Amino acid sequence: MKRLILPLILVAVLGCSNKQVEQLAIETADNARISITAAENVGARDVAVSEINSAEEMLTNAESALQSGDVERAYRLALRAYLHARIATEKSLAVRQEAQVQEAQAALGLRQQATEEVFNNLEKLKTERAAQKE
């Protein structure tokens, strides 16, 4: 009797864990799909093409693995797709922020130049005024 119960418990535990992995794979694939869309919304297609393409390919492979019943592979691929999409998003945001920094530096340079011109004009006016007083 004990020999029969132990394999039944083992089968039940393995069956439950497989369902949990399947649910996790489905949720991770959904998160990957959402992350790919978010990456595209921030312009990742222009900046991180390889990451977006990798993410989409991995997501497609994850969905195929899920349909064929290979839930562990589906989970791993979905997770990798999610991570590639997040990397693409972060790269896109970094490029955008770098462009904003360069734009701000250029504006600062122009303002500094204008300030120097005003300062030089002020010094010139002071010199002219001092010369008129003499």
DSSP-assigned letters across all residues of 42-79? TTHHHH-HHHHHHHHHHHHHHHHHHHHT-HHHHHHHHH
The residue range of the domain holding 62 is 2-133
The average confidence (pLDDT) of the chain is 85
pTM beyond 0.85: the answer is: no
Secondary element (H or E) of residue 28:
helix 2-41
Q: What is the mean pLDDT of residues 44-59?
A: 89
pLDDT at position 6 over 80: no
- Output the pLDDT for position 49: 86
Q: Give Cα separations from 31 to 7, 35, 43, 49, 54 (angstroms).
A: 36, 6, 18, 19, 15
Each residue's pLDDT tens digit, 75-132: 999 999 999 999 999 999 999 999 899 999 999 999 999 999 999 998 988 888 888 8
Overall domain count for the chain: 1
Contact (CB, 8 A) for 31 and 8: no
DSSP 1: -
